Amino acid sequence: MSVSRRTFLKGSVAGAAALSSISQGTSQANASELNYLSIAEAAELIRTRQLSPLELTQAILDRIDQVESRVLAFVTVARDEALQAARTAQEEIARGQYRGPLHGIPFGVKDTHYSKGIKSTAGSPLLADFIPTYDATVVARMKEAGAILVGKTRLPAFSMGGDTPSHNPWNLSRTPGGSSGGSAVALAAGELAAATGGDTSNSIRHPATLCNVVGMKATFGLVSRYGVIPISWSLDHIGPMTRTVADNALMLNVLAGYDPQDDYTVDVSIPDYTKALGRGVRGIRIGIPSDSLVDDFHADCIRGYQDALEVYQKLGAELVEVEMPSTLQAMDSGQRVIRICEAASYHEHHLAGDPDRYGENARPRSEGEVGALIPAVHYLRAQKLKKVFLQEMRQLFRSFDVFITPGRPAPAGEPLQFRVRQDFAKMFNCSGYPAMAVPAGFSTSPAGLPVGLQIAAKPFEEEIIYRVAHAYEAETDWHQRRPQL
Amino acid sequence: MHKNMTDEEIKEVMKQTAKLAGLDLSNERIEADLSSMKRHLDAIDAVAEVNLKLESEPVPTFRLEKES
């Protein structure tokens, strides 16, 4: 089935106010390619039976066949399982049992997420043959919403290290970042419209920025980590990755919520995150760091960031320069201590068994060994510092509605002239505050590498992040651009 | 804290501490882990520079609350 933008719009005029309104930002997308449809667009076509889950899933699998050897986004493609699930979805919809906007939508998950009956290797030879007997809660929730699991995306072993062994679709010689790099690559390459990632030190936002996609690290406790292979229990976050802000909100609608299997999840009421889209930013107070904290960033990242701030001012938002917490730098160090100690605890079993199975030069082995050597008193001191840091963050976030920084200090693989003092990433893992990466343009030197924004807010205020991100996305076309593959 | 220690001293501490942690680290492994160990000792020092109140409590687990 070939679907033109005109056909899509014609078919979606009636009875689809919410989805139609949130898909408006994609008007320039090449919708003739099914694999690049947004979730919102595909959902509307599926709901109105202009597109079947089987057709969409087949188009995604065809795209994977076409480009996967160049980008290496997946550890496992679950072709047969995906086609079977697509047939089931198709039958349900034909019977009038439409479950909602994710019904029939193909998705991928990072290979740390347990998937029943499908290998979950965490990118390590140690778990090369591990097949879970149950789904991680996020996988189960996506399936309950009717989404089709297509595959498991690549990562550095056990999510450790910044570079995923995949290729950035915007420049195949460059890193896509990490650790949720496979998910970001698959989205940018049109191999998926929906994916999940994990974020302990920036691992959703980093690859999202480098690959020109949207990645939300939701509030700590909003999305269950049950069934996800951890790095660090008190720092790990799970979240949705998509090509548009509206799609991300649709996914969080499904992923968010209390899970009795995860002690850290919080029983809060979950709003419809798409409701705030389109409300604009007039009167919104945007906190920004002082220029001196970003002036060592790559010039193209600064330019993209400043251009975005101008867009927000034009739209009626107010910029407020703020002073960062006094413990910010020390907390970044504390994050390293906490992360490695908790990682050592998880890896204790593997290290005591047959550590050679980690493979040669394996970072998880080294991190596990070093973490095991750090006395508990240092771990607890870092956790004490976290309490002070949380108090400072609460105080800081009282003076604005959202906090915006450049997404990354440099585009993919670009060295920095200076040592960056603060990248504004780990502060949101330590605090648990939500933060999202959003496309914000492309570099000029070298040309064509994505740059981005990071938008953060108070705990459980993902709605305002989506609202602010959507307002910017609607004024720009960065998210509509496609890499040449 | 570790700034006055030589690499050999740090490696010796690693070897002995590993025994307490139940790990049997070969000299080869200790050599491979040394740079990571030093980076994390730097991080420990940075945390130690913050003057924490005596009554400070750690938050190894925490639950956030919606403010508004």
Q: Check B40 against A388: CB less than 8 A apart.
A: no
How confident is the model at residue B62, as a pLDDT?
66
Active-site residue numbers of A?
A: 110, 179, 203
How confident is the model at residue B68, as a pLDDT?
65
Residues of A in contact with B63 (CB under 8 A): 221, 264, 266
What is the side-by-side order of every strand in the sheet holding A447-456? Answer: A74-77, A148-153, A106-110, A194-199, A237-242, A214-217, A435-444, A447-456, A402-406, A285-289, A318-322
The yes-or-no verdict on residue A12 having pLDDT over 70 is no
Query: Could you say which residues from 240 to 279 on chain A have a Cβ atom under 8 Å away from some Cβ of chain B?
Result: 263-264, 266, 268
How confident is the model at residue A414, as a pLDDT?
92
Residues of B in contact with A378 (CB under 8 A): 44, 47-48
pLDDT in tens, A88-130: 999 999 999 999 999 999 999 999 999 999 999 999 999 999 9
How confident is the model at residue A418, as a pLDDT?
65
Q: Which residue of A has its CA nearest to B15?
A: A373
Average pLDDT over chain A reads 93
Among A106-120, A377-391, A416-430, the minimum mean pLDDT is found in A416-430
Nearest Cα residue to B2 out of B32, B41, B40, B34: B41
pLDDT in tens, A171-200: 999 999 999 999 999 999 999 999 999 999
A366 band by pLDDT with thresholds 50, 70 and 90: very high
pLDDT in tens, A317-334: 999 999 999 999 999 999
Between residues A7 and A477, the one the model is more confident about: A477
From the list B23, B49, B65, which residue is nearest A330 (CB)?
B49
In this structure, what token pair is assigned to residue B57? 């409590």
pLDDT in tens, A186-235: 999 999 999 999 999 999 999 999 999 999 999 999 999 999 999 999 99
**Cβ contacts of residue A270 below 8 Å, gap of 6+?**
A253, A256, A257
Q: Which residue of A has its CA nearest to B65?
A: A459
Domains defined along chain A, listed by start: 1-485 (3.90.1300.10)
The yes-or-no verdict on residue A23 having pLDDT over 70 is no
Q: Check A369 against B25: CB less than 8 A apart.
A: yes
**What is the rounded average pLDDT of the residues A69-85?**
98
pLDDT in tens, A35-56: 999 999 999 999 999 999 999 9
Under 8 Å CB pairs connecting chains A and B tally to 114
Q: Check A352 against B22: CB less than 8 A apart.
A: yes
The domain locations on chain B are 7-48
How confident is the model at residue A254, as a pLDDT?
98
**What is the rounded average pLDDT of the residues A439-455?**
97
What number of other Cβ atoms are within 10 A of residue A39's Cβ? 28
Print burial letters for A453-465: b (CB count within 10 Å at least 16), e (below 16).
bbbbbbbbbbbbb
pLDDT in tens, A253-302: 999 999 999 999 999 999 999 999 999 999 999 999 999 999 999 999 99
> What interhelical angle do B27-48 and A363-372 show, nearest 10?
60
ipTM confidence: 0.90
**What is the rounded average pLDDT of the residues B31-37?**
96
A181: closest CA of chain B, how far (Å) = 23
Among A242-246, A262-266, A341-345, the minimum mean pLDDT is found in A262-266
